[in-house]
Amino acid sequence: MKRVLALSGLALAALLCLGALPAEARKAPKLSFPALVNCAKKADSTSFRINETVTHEPALPGTSLCFSFEVAAPKNPTGPCGKAKTLERVQFWASYENRKKITQVYIRAYPDGKIDQRKVFGAWIASGDHYVFSKLGWTADYVRDANPKLCISLEEGTSLDDLFLGAPGQATLALYSADGGQKCCPLYSVPLPADA
């Protein structure tokens, strides 16, 4: 009986010590996204942006969300990221475990006022929960003129927070460019529609 009480006392002391740690020491380590080596993650460092309004697309099956893109002057136009001319890749922070809840992905664009829609396939990086769309080759002129959208269709009843990681109710993504002399992957978070 004494041994049990002594062990309980030790466990209690350990818990008290844990409680005395500062809050930062008790937090889980932050995950790194995107997991790219030597990549500049500062927002607005290139000409490419994600539109903050994520829209539903009723013409697509299931729960379909469309992410739009836009262009703006980079913070440092003469820096390596400011000189990037092409958006090469879009990388989402998304749950590899729930990847099968995605039913289809489309790129929709409107060149010359006509709808151009094609089905695309992303690649998963399981170790970091990355969902990547590569070889886009979008220039600033193309984004400005064709207004491309990346539309993701999910199974009915899928919670958006089951798929998109990071802060609840938001999608976190990186926009990757490398033709300015440096790897650039500015990081953005955008609010998801509350009624999805």
Determine, yes or no, domain membership for 75.
Answer: yes
Determine, yes or no, domain membership for 40.
Answer: no
In angstroms, the CA 42 to CA 105 distance is 27
Determine, yes or no, domain membership for 16.
Answer: no
Determine, yes or no, domain membership for 36.
Answer: no
Nearest residue to 33 (alpha-carbon basis) of 139, 192, 190, 186: 186
The identity of residue 97, as a single letter, is E
pLDDT of residue 112: 83
Average of pLDDT values for 52-64?
A: 83
pLDDT band (50, 70, 90) for residue 84: very high
Determine, yes or no, domain membership for 100.
Answer: yes
N-to-C CA span, the chain: 57
Q: How many domains does the chain have?
A: 1
pLDDT band (50, 70, 90) for residue 6: very low
Nearest residue to 130 (alpha-carbon basis) of 88, 92, 168, 167: 92
pLDDT band (50, 70, 90) for residue 23: very low
CATH code (residue 74): 2.60.40
Determine, yes or no, domain membership for 15.
Answer: no
On the question of pLDDT at 72 being above 80, the answer is yes
Determine, yes or no, domain membership for 13.
Answer: no
pTM: 0.80
Cis peptide before 34 (omega within 30 of 0): yes
Determine, yes or no, domain membership for 121.
Answer: yes
Question: Average per-residue pLDDT in the chain?
Answer: 83
Residue 26 exposure: Cα atoms within 13 Å on the Cβ side: 9
pLDDT band (50, 70, 90) for residue 85: very high
In angstroms, the CA 137 to CA 47 distance is 14
- Domain span holding position 130: 48-190
